[in-house]
Every structure is written in C-alpha cells, then in structure tokens.
Chains A and B, each alone.
Chain A
C-alpha cells in the first residue's frame, strides 16, 4: 500500500534508522553492537525504502551493479586486512589486538575498519535477500521495460 502518509513518515524515519545503524557500527568496539548488528539495521532501512517507494525507484537509486561492486570491494578489503594481520601475527609482528579503552572512539586498532566493512557487506546482503524474496532472482528485469 502506497499512500502519502506512509511516504512522508518513512521520509522522516529512514534517516533516523540509518544514523542509528551507523552509530551501532562505529561504536561496535567499545559498546554492544558491531558490524553485523548495525549492518542489519542499515539493511532494514533500505528494505523499508524499497517496500514504500517501489522497486523501480529504488533500483534507480541503488543500482544492482554498484551494490555488487561495493560488496566485492568491502569483502576484498576485509579479507586482505584481516589476512594481513594474521600473516603479520604469524611472523611475530603486531602481536595482539590493542585493547579498547572505554569511551574512547579511536582505540581498538583494526576493529573499526573491519566493523565498517562487515557493516557494508551485511547491509547489502540483507537487501539482496529481500530482493531475492520479492523477485526470485537478483538480476531481474522490470516488467515494464
């Protein structure tokens, strides 16, 4: 159902949801939360957008190609960063993950970038799963085209 009321409320609601999701991702290392939790919140905001504004509008705003590219790049960066840390650790360099200091944003070493990568991946994956349920395929074609 697509009415003016829902559209306007969602317009106000989505930024709030997204800010909350970004907060959960960014502060995952010093408070409860993290990449998966925050990413699922962000993903739910995009899914809400899609349900309210329809698939065509959403696909113009978030094209499949760019989302796929973002996911791949985030995964590559995650894999190389974490893999590099493992390898460095094996050779005795970078022995421990630095312990996070409470209430300090810039602590916890490599956890912040890793959390951001996971957040991106989870956001887009959840959105993809929603598309999969709606259309049955990721690279679908619009009926009107």
Chain B
C-alpha cells in the first residue's frame, strides 16, 4: 500500500500530461472536454491530499524515477513542504477550472477554449514537477515548460495587449532561464552531479576552494529565479501579463506560476548550497532588501492604479516581497512563514482575482471608479472580495494576519527590529488601497441610484468555487497552528 502511495506524485503528473494535455486535441465535444478536465484535476487534488496524509503520518519519502538509482536517475523528494504546496497548487487549479466553465467563453473565442484547458494541464504538471523534483536540470526543464504554458494562457485572449504582455514576459523570462542554466553549468563543473543531495556533498568539500565560483552561481540562481517569480526590481512583466490575461488565467498566474520558482529557489538554497554556505554569503541581505522594497514599492504602485485588475497585480508584487523577506530572514520561522504565506497568498489572490473577474464580466467596466455601489448589485461577490482583501490587509484570524504576525516575530528573533517598520508600513499601504474599493463598493452613493439589489449578481451556482476557495482560505487561517507546525517539521529535515 505504501508503495502505491509513493507512486502518486509521478502518477499525478503522468495523468495530467497524458489525459489532460495529449488526449484533449482528439476530443471534439466541449462538454466532454470540460468534464474530463474537472475529473482529472479533482483526481490530482485527491492524490495530492492522500500524499499529504501519508507524509504527515509516515514522514518524507524519496521516489526514484527511471531505471537507475540516485546519482544517475531522477529522484522525487516528497516532504511536508512539497506535499502541502503540491496540494495547494492542484486545489487552486481545480477551483479555477470549475469557475472557468461558466465564464471563460465570455472572454475568449470558442475555438480557443480547449486550448486553454490543454495548457492548464501542462502548466499544472510542470509546476508539480518543479515542486517535487530533486534533480536540478529536471527542474530547469519543468521551469521552461511552465513558462511557455503560462505565456500560452496569456495569449488565449487574442488581443493586442495580450501579445505585448506575453512577449514581455517571455523575453524577461528567457533572460532568467539563461541565467539559471548558466548557474547549473557552474554547479555542474564544480560537482559533476545533478542530484541536489549529491551536489551538496561535493559543494561542502569544495566550498573553501572555489568560493567565488559558488557565489557567482548563487547570484545567477537568485536573479534568474527572481525574474521568474517577480522579485521587486524585476517585476516589470507582471502587471501587464496579469492585467490583460482572462480572469481565470490571471488567478492561475498570480497564485501558482510565480510561486513555483520560489520553491525551486528555496530548494537550491537549502538542499544544494546548505545553510552554512548561504548564511556566510550575503545573499540573504540581498533578499531582505529586494523583499522590503517590493513590499513598499509594490503597494505604492498599486495605490496609483485606476484599473482594478492592475491594482491586484501590483499587490501581488508586494505579497511576493513578504515571501522573499521571510526567506531573507534566514531563520527557521522566517522560512516557515515564507512557505505558509505562499499557501495563504495562493488561496487569497485566486479568490480575489476571480471575484474581480466576475465584477468585470457582469458590469463590463474595468476601472475602479465604476465599481462604486457594486455591493448593491453583487453583494455575494463583493463579500468574497472583501474577505480576501481583509486577509491581505491583515485582519486577525485570516491567513494574511498570521503570516504578518509571525514575520514580525521572526524579524525580532533574528535581531532586525527595523523590519517591523517595513511590515507595518506595508500593511497600512495595503489598507489604503483596498479599503476605498470595499467602502465605495458598499456605500458609494453617487452611483447608487438606478441600481437594483442583486440585479447583476452571478447565479450562486457559478460562485461556488470562489466561495469554497475563500472558505478554505479562512480555514487555513484558523488552523494556522497545525499548518505551521507541519511546515516546520519539513524544514527541520531539509
């Protein structure tokens, strides 16, 4: 039985690729395609859930793919971090798919719908691959696949701006992947291995000898993966891409695609280089600076935006800043909170984007000003939006608060008190740009006359996935203690 469960990570990737991506072009009827994809995604979510339980009960395991043992073959290493992030990815993807059944055809051409589903399967498979794999080159290949698939789900909506956004993303992203590949070349020339555990052994032996080479490769990895995950000065592709894509794509891009490179970066830091080498270099200070600037500047940029989706996209930049700040603190709590915040932000931002998408879809407006008094027309959707926004602002019990609180504790623990000010300012700025939308949405008076209660609200059936997302988000906030303990158990064995 346990042998069967250890198969699940590979099995979920295989199912996604074979049935999700390769079978769909053969099918003609759209209803069958939709049902197939919902079924596949639910199955993958269930498999990830079982894997999570298995890991929680029996501890982490190593799964060998291919016919040769570890230094030659590829190895999946599934611990608490990998399994929980994998579960979050597949769950959010399932919910977004469910939402997109009702709304996708209003945004993109009918011919492209099956294309969207194929790309989503490919994307989820590659993201899960990045999270699970313990082979550095395999991770690079999955990273490239995810980039191409992410560009694909931007250009499914065949507008001018989408192509512009996609090419911007692709150019910067190929810059990043070139840097990552160069880093892999350096690492390979030092160690002669591709498996993370074996590289680590060789690096420790060579650390005193080839420090400069190791430092260069470390910077190459940090900047390369930082571009892909929208670290602050390299975030310029993100707002365009996330604004112009169709709303389900925006939700996926914002909550999944920019998280996977961070997981890869964490794996490289802790599994390849090891904590001793990393803390002797100055890379954590770099992450602190980039993360701190991202938290403040992202919020400042967001405050100036007039388009709703663009505001949410800039808020993503700020939230990625929290994650990098957590990693940059360099202690156990900081890293735990970075991973917890990845999960929390994934759930929050997807429900935020989906509810914003349903505002736009029902009213046809894009700008924030036009959404005054929307609460009368679409109370349920605005309720979900409010809940997610409150989580990002940091109202107690919701996951955003938990991560901010613990981030503050972690920065005190590491002796960097001035970071508290950054966290506080960033929360205030979050409140400054989210509260006007909520307040004007409920009480905006100048637009209110002529609007009928619930006149434009979506049928509750179509909102169920978003409601489930926000309920799970609240649950992650309530159960934060056990979630954080679980992640911590994964970090201690890393």
* Chain A residues engaging chain B, CB cutoff 8 angstroms: 68-69, 71-73, 75-76, 79-80, 83, 85-87, 89-91, 95-97, 139
Is the pair B67, A95 in contact by a Cβ cutoff of 8 Å?
yes
Alpha-carbon separation in the docked complex, A71 to B23 (Å): 10
Give the B interface residue count (CB, 8 A): 20
Is the pair B66, A90 in contact by a Cβ cutoff of 8 Å?
no
Within 8 A of A (CB), among B1-52: 3, 6-7, 10-11, 14, 17-18, 21-23, 25-26
Is the pair A72, B7 in contact by a Cβ cutoff of 8 Å?
no
Sort A-B residue pairs by CB-CB distance and give the 4 closest, nearest first.
Answer: A75-B22, A79-B18, A83-B14, A72-B25
Is the pair B65, A76 in contact by a Cβ cutoff of 8 Å?
no
Alpha-carbon separation in the docked complex, A73 to B68 (Å): 28
Alpha-carbon separation in the docked complex, A103 to B201 (Å): 40
* Chain B residues engaging chain A, CB cutoff 8 angstroms: 3, 6-7, 10-11, 14, 17-18, 21-23, 25-26, 63-68, 111
Instruction: List the B side residues contacting A80 at CB < 8 Å.
Output: 18
Is the pair B66, A83 in contact by a Cβ cutoff of 8 Å?
no
Is the pair A68, B25 in contact by a Cβ cutoff of 8 Å?
yes
Instruction: List the A side residues contacting B63 at CB < 8 Å.
Output: 90
Query: Could you pull out 19 A-B pairs where Cβ atoms are within 8 angstroms?
Result: A71-B25, A72-B25, A75-B22, A76-B23, A79-B17, A80-B18, A83-B14, A86-B10, A86-B66, A87-B7, A87-B10, A87-B11, A89-B67, A90-B7, A90-B10, A91-B3, A96-B68, A97-B67, A139-B111
* B22 → A minimal CB distance (Å): 4
**A68-B25, A90-B6 given; A96·B18 CB < 8 A:** no
Instruction: List the A side residues contacting B7 at CB < 8 Å.
Output: 87, 90
Residue of B3, B6, B17, B22 most packed against chain A (CB within 10 A): B22
For A78, the closest partner residue in chain B by CB is B22
Instruction: List the A side residues contacting B18 at CB < 8 Å.
Output: 75-76, 79-80, 83
Is the pair A89, B25 in contact by a Cβ cutoff of 8 Å?
no
Residue of A71, A75, A95 most packed against chain B (CB within 10 A): A75
Alpha-carbon separation in the docked complex, A79 to B18 (Å): 6
Alpha-carbon separation in the docked complex, A69 to B21 (Å): 13
Alpha-carbon separation in the docked complex, A71 to B7 (Å): 27
Is the pair B22, A76 in contact by a Cβ cutoff of 8 Å?
yes
Instruction: List the B side residues contacting A97 at CB < 8 Å.
Output: 67
What 9 new A-B contacts, CB under 8 Å, besides A79-B17, A86-B14? A69-B25, A72-B26, A76-B18, A76-B23, A79-B14, A80-B18, A83-B14, A83-B18, A90-B7
Is the pair B26, A73 in contact by a Cβ cutoff of 8 Å?
yes
Instruction: List the B side residues contacting A86 at CB < 8 Å.
Output: 10, 14, 65-66
Is the pair B23, A72 in contact by a Cβ cutoff of 8 Å?
yes
For B73, the closest partner residue in chain A by CB is A89
Instruction: List the A side residues contacting B3 at CB < 8 Å.
Output: 90-91
Is the pair A89, B66 in contact by a Cβ cutoff of 8 Å?
yes
* A43 → B minimal CB distance (Å): 19
Is the pair B67, A72 in contact by a Cβ cutoff of 8 Å?
no
Alpha-carbon separation in the docked complex, A106 to B23 (Å): 30
* B433 → A minimal CB distance (Å): 40
Instruction: List the B side residues contacting A95 at CB < 8 Å.
Output: 67
Instruction: List the A side residues contacting B65 at CB < 8 Å.
Output: 86
For A85, the closest partner residue in chain B by CB is B67
For A84, the closest partner residue in chain B by CB is B14
Instruction: List the A side residues contacting B68 at CB < 8 Å.
Output: 96
Alpha-carbon separation in the docked complex, A96 to B66 (Å): 9
Instruction: List the B side residues contacting A73 at CB < 8 Å.
Output: 26
Instruction: List the B side residues contacting A83 at CB < 8 Å.
Output: 10, 14, 18
Residue of A75, A76, A86, A96 most packed against chain B (CB within 10 A): A86
Instruction: List the B side residues contacting A90 at CB < 8 Å.
Output: 3, 6-7, 10, 63-64
For A137, the closest partner residue in chain B by CB is B158
* B444 → A minimal CB distance (Å): 43
Instruction: List the B side residues contacting A75 at CB < 8 Å.
Output: 18, 21-22
Alpha-carbon separation in the docked complex, A95 to B73 (Å): 13
* A127 → B minimal CB distance (Å): 16
Instruction: List the B side residues contacting A71 at CB < 8 Å.
Output: 25
Is the pair B26, A69 in contact by a Cβ cutoff of 8 Å?
yes
Instruction: List the B side residues contacting A79 at CB < 8 Å.
Output: 14, 17-18, 22
